[in-house]
Amino acid sequence: MARLATKAQTKTLEQRLWEAADALRGNQEPSEYKHVVLGLVFLKYISDRFERRRREIDEELVSDGIAQDKRERFLEDRDEYLSHNVFWVPADARWESIQAKAKLPGIGQDIDAAMDLIEKENRSIKGVLPRNYGREGLDKGRLSQLVDLIGSIGFTESDDHGSDDVLGRVYEYFLGQFAGKETGKDAGAFYTPRSVVKTLVEMLEPFHGRVYDPACGSGGMFVQSTEFVKAHGGKRTDISVYGQEFTDATWKLAKMNLALRGIEADLGDRSADTFSSDLHPDLRADFVIANPPFNVSNWWDAKLQVDPRWKYGTPPEGNANFGWVQHFVHHLSPSGTAGFVLANGSLSSRASGEAEIRRRLVDADLVDCIVSLPDRLFFNTAIPVSLWFVSKNRHGNGHRKRTGEILFIDARQLGHMETRRLRALSDEDIARIADTYHSWRSKEPTKPYSDVEGFARVATVGEVTAHGYILAPSRYVGTADDAGDPNASEAIAERGTLVAETRKLLAESAVQREAAKEALEELAQVIEIDEWREVRVGDVAKVVGGGTPPSRDEDNFGGSIPWITPKDMTTHQGRYIAEGARSLTEAGLANSSARLLPEGAVLLSSRAPIGLVAIAACPVTTNQGIRSLVFDDTQDPVFWYYLLRQSTAVLDAHANGSTFREISGGSIAKLSFTVPSLVWQRRLADTLSRLDLLIEHNLEINTVLGSLSRLGARYAVRRAE
C-alpha cells in the first residue's frame, strides 16, 4: 500500500528564535522574561537601523569626495539620523559594543547603561525601555547566551531574512508565545490573538482616518490596521493612531512595538486609567477598535457618577462592560464605527441596569452587527466572546442605509485548535465573517447578501425588542444541518494540529523517561536526612477557606477566575490544577467568601472525600469544600503536596461528623508534622516530581490521542435523527 507523502515542516525564523530564547529562560517567570528578551530585540533592531543609516551617509560622503577625517564628523551628527526617523544610538549603546562585552560579568549593568543612554538621546521612548538586566536574580551566563542568539540575527534589508520588518514579526511572535506561557487570571492579558485582531480589522476596514484603542495592550490592533492599509495600496500615514493603556509595563511594550513598526502613535505621555484619566478627552475617532478587559469589577471611581460618557445610562459599579461600550460611542466621530470584543454575558445580562443601557443603544440605532465567536480564542480565558460593531449615522456613513436592522452572525462553529489550549480562526474563517458583513453593509457588494441558516441573519429592531433586547445571535440565526466533511480543509487542519502535537509529545517522552529513571536510581539508594524539625501547619502556612456566590445571579459565573470544587479534584489528574468545571467573574468573587489564591497554593479537600490534594497552577479560588494552604518561604509547597497526599488517615482522624465528615481550617492549622529542612524538602520534591512528570506527560499523550480518536469517530455517522 502506497504511503501518503508528508511535507517536511520547515521552522520559520520566528519559531527557531523563540525555541532558542525559551531554552535560555531557566527558572524565570515568563511574565518577567518577556521584558528581558523583547528589550534586547528592540536594542538590536535600533542598532541595526542606525548602522544601516550610517553606511548610507558614508556612501553619500564618499561619492561627494569628502575626506575620511571630515566624514567621521558627519557620521556622528545625530540630526542625520533623526531626520530619517532613525533613533540616535550612542557609541556605548550600539550592538557591537554590547556584543563585545557579552562574556564579561558586568554584561547586565552594561545593557542597563545602554538603555539609559538611548532614552536620554531619544525623547519619544523616554521611560519605556527595560532596565533590569543587572539584577542579582538574572543568570548572567544565560543572558550572555541570549545576547549571542539575538546578535546572530540581522534585521536589515541586506540580511537573508528579507527586510527590517522581520523584527516586527519576531517581536509580535514573541508577544504571542509569552502570552501563551504565562499562567493565572491575567495571563496574556497584554496580547489579543492575531486572528481576533485580524477579524476586527477586516470587518472595520480602516483605510484612512483616526484609529483609537483605549485599551491598547501591546499595540496589536494598530499593527494590524497599518498592515491592512498597506495591503490595500495605502501608506502608514493614511491613518492617525491614538491609544491608552492602564498597565505601565504593557504601555512600554506597546511603545516599543509601534516604534519597531515605524508607526507614529499618540499613546499619551504615560500609562493611565481610561475611565478616570482619559488622555484623549476631545478625540472623535473614525474607527474605535478594542479588546477591553472582561467583566472588570474594581473599575469604579466616585467622580464617574456624573460623566458625559454615560449618555445611555450609568454603568453598574461592579462591571465595566457597558462603561467601555459607552466610552467607545462617546469617542466616535459623527460617522464613525467601533468594533470591539466583549464577554458573552453583555449580550443578555439584566443586572444593575445593563439591560436598560443595551435597550437604549439598540433604540438609538447604534448597534450594527453582533458576531458570536467560539471559545478558547484567548490565552487568559476559555470563555466564548462576541464582537460588537456599533456605528453612528447608519442611514449612510459611506455605506447603504441600515437603520432599523441588525446583522447577527453565529461563528461559534468556526476555527481550529492550534494547540490543545488555544483555538484560532483561519484566513478563510475571517474572510467568511468579514465578507458577510460587507455584503450586507455595502451599497454595491461584490456578492449580494442573503441569510444563511445557522450562520447569519438580519433581524429588525422590532424582533430584537420582542426578544427583550437580548443580542445573542443564536436567538436569530436558527440552526444549520451540518453533517461535517472529513476532507474539508478545516477538518484536515484540525486533525493535523492534533497529529503534530502527538508527535511532539512522543518525541519528548524519551527525555521524561530518562529523568524518571534517574529518580528511580536515587530512590533505590539509602536516603539519610539528618535535619528534622516539628512544625505546626498554622505556623508555616496560612489556611484559607473557600466560598460560593449566589447561584441565582448568573453574572457571578462564567468569568475568567478558575473556581475549584472537591468534585473537580475528584476527576482531576496530575499535581497541578488550573481550572474547574465552572469559573467566577470578578463580581462572583466579590459576592462570596472565596479568596483569590496565589499560584503554588496547596489545595486540600476538607469534605468527603477528605484528603484530595492539588497545587494551584495559576491564581484560583475554591468553594467551601476545599481548604488551601499558602506556605511561607521556609517551606516547599511541592514537598507538602506529597506529604499531605499520604496523610489522608491523619486528616480523617481530625475530621468531625459521622455521615457528613469535614475537617475545619482550624483543625488543619493545629496539625503537626515532622519535616526535613527546606534544602531536603526541595531535593525530595524534585526526585518525586520527575516521576510525576512522566505520569503527567503520558496523560497529555492520552488526552491528545483521545481527542484525535473522537474527531475521527465523528465521521463514522453521516447523520442521525
711 phi/psi in degrees, rounded to 5: -65, -40
> What does the alpha-carbon distance between residue 93 and residue 47 come to, in Å, rounded to a whole number?
8
Do 419 and 517 have their domain in common? no
Do 465 and 581 have their domain in common? no
261 neighbors 227 (Cβ within 8 angstroms) = no
pLDDT at 161: 37
Tens digits of residue pLDDT in 629-647:
999 999 999 999 999 999 9
DSSP codes joined into one string, 324-389: HHHHHHHTEEEEEEEEEEEEGGGGT--GGGHHHHHHHHHHTT-EEEEEE--S--SSS--S-EEEEE
Do 137 and 204 have their domain in common? no
Do 386 and 309 have their domain in common? yes
Is 217 inside any structural domain?
yes
For the domain that residue 569 is a member of, what is the CATH number? Answer: 3.90.220.20
Higher pLDDT pick, 181 / 608: 608
Expressed as residue numbers, the domain containing 364 is 187-477
pLDDT at 542: 95
pLDDT at 177: 67
Tens digits of residue pLDDT in 302-324:
899 999 999 999 999 888 999 99
> Which grid cell sits at 657?
461528623
Higher pLDDT pick, 657 / 716: 657
Is 182 inside any structural domain?
no
Is 5 inside any structural domain?
no
Tens digits of residue pLDDT in 571-626:
888 899 988 888 888 888 988 999 999 999 999 999 878 899 999 989 999 999 99
pLDDT at 8 over 70: no
Do 443 and 564 have their domain in common? no
Domain edge (last residue) among 123, 147, 177: 177
Q: How many residues does the chain have?
A: 721
41 neighbors 130 (Cβ within 8 angstroms) = no
494 neighbors 467 (Cβ within 8 angstroms) = no
Is 548 inside any structural domain?
yes
Is 483 inside any structural domain?
no
Do 620 and 603 have their domain in common? yes
Is 3 inside any structural domain?
no
pLDDT at 718 over 80: no
pLDDT at 389: 97
For the domain that residue 388 is a member of, what is the CATH number? Answer: 3.40.50.150
Distances (CA, A) of 126 to 216, 569, 678: 19, 49, 43
In whole angstroms, how large is the CA radius of gyration of the chain? 28
Greatest Cα pair distance, the chain, in angstroms, is 99
Name which of 393-407, 417-431, 486-500, 576-590 the model is least confident about.
486-500
Do 31 and 155 have their domain in common? yes
Is 279 inside any structural domain?
yes
Do 294 and 325 have their domain in common? yes
pLDDT at 199: 93
Q: Any idea what DSSP says for residue 422?
A: -
Tens digits of residue pLDDT in 221-238:
887 888 777 776 777 778
Confidence band, pLDDT 50/70/90 cuts, at residue 42: confident
With vertex at residue 426, the alpha carbon angle to CA 424 and CA 432, rounded to the nearest 5 degrees, is 120
Is 552 inside any structural domain?
yes
Do 544 and 618 have their domain in common? yes
Work out the average pLDDT over 417-446: 87
Which percentage of the chain shows pLDDT scores above 70?
Answer: 86
Domain edge (last residue) among 120, 142, 177: 177
> Which grid cell sits at 539?
505556623
The domain total for the chain is 4
Do 672 and 716 have their domain in common? no
Strand partners, 626: 605
For the domain that residue 85 is a member of, what is the CATH number? Answer: 1.20.1260.30
pLDDT at 506 over 80: yes
Do 99 and 194 have their domain in common? no
> What does the alpha-carbon distance between residue 27 and residue 22 come to, in Å, rounded to a whole number?
11
Do 351 and 421 have their domain in common? yes
